[in-house]
Amino acid sequence: MASPDDKSELPDEEQPGNVPDYNRQPVPRLPRGKGTRFSTMSMFRIAMLGMLLVAVLVMRKPCADGVAKFIGGFEQKPDAGAEQAPPRTTLPPGEYIKLDGPLTEEKLKELRERAKKRQEAAKPDAGAADSKKPADSTKPAPGEPK
């Protein structure tokens, strides 16, 4: 059995106090390639990105002009003048009753009676009017039930 003081069995590098000889050991080297190596897919992606950048630079002006023309189409022309209002519809001639406030049953009844009185007062001759017009063709007064 060898004692720990026996230094003859240990290799030179492991013996205390000895410096290992680095000239005898292979030195690890960094992997060096010959140029840059890209896969086909990465080359395709780079080419597509380049074409996209060129397309953005080329299409910038026509696209900006088209958008400006589209947005500008909504503006009112300076020489167009004011837009004309649509024609107002007019009510047929006659007397109308303004309905304001809450309409209760009593108020509606009163309005109907007033309308009947006005209608009767507006007829010049009841006998002459009946001979010219059929009885069913008369329209009810505004506010009157049909």
* Backbone CA torsion sign across 135, 137, 138, 143: positive
pLDDT band at 49 (very low <50, low <70, confident <90, very high): very high
Measured distance CA(13)–CA(25) in Å, rounded: 11
* pLDDT of 43: 94
* Backbone CA torsion sign across 109, 97, 126, 137: negative
* pLDDT of 143: 61
pLDDT band at 146 (very low <50, low <70, confident <90, very high): low
pLDDT band at 45 (very low <50, low <70, confident <90, very high): very high
pLDDT band at 36 (very low <50, low <70, confident <90, very high): confident
Full-model pTM? 0.29
How far from 18 is each of 3, 5, 7, 13, 21, CA to CA, in Å?
Answer: 19, 15, 11, 6, 9
* pLDDT of 73: 85
Q: Is the pLDDT of residue 47 over 80?
A: yes
How far from 79 is each of 2, 36, 76, CA to CA, in Å?
Answer: 114, 65, 9
pLDDT band at 138 (very low <50, low <70, confident <90, very high): low
Residue 80 or 133, more confident: 80
Q: Is the pLDDT of residue 21 over 90?
A: no
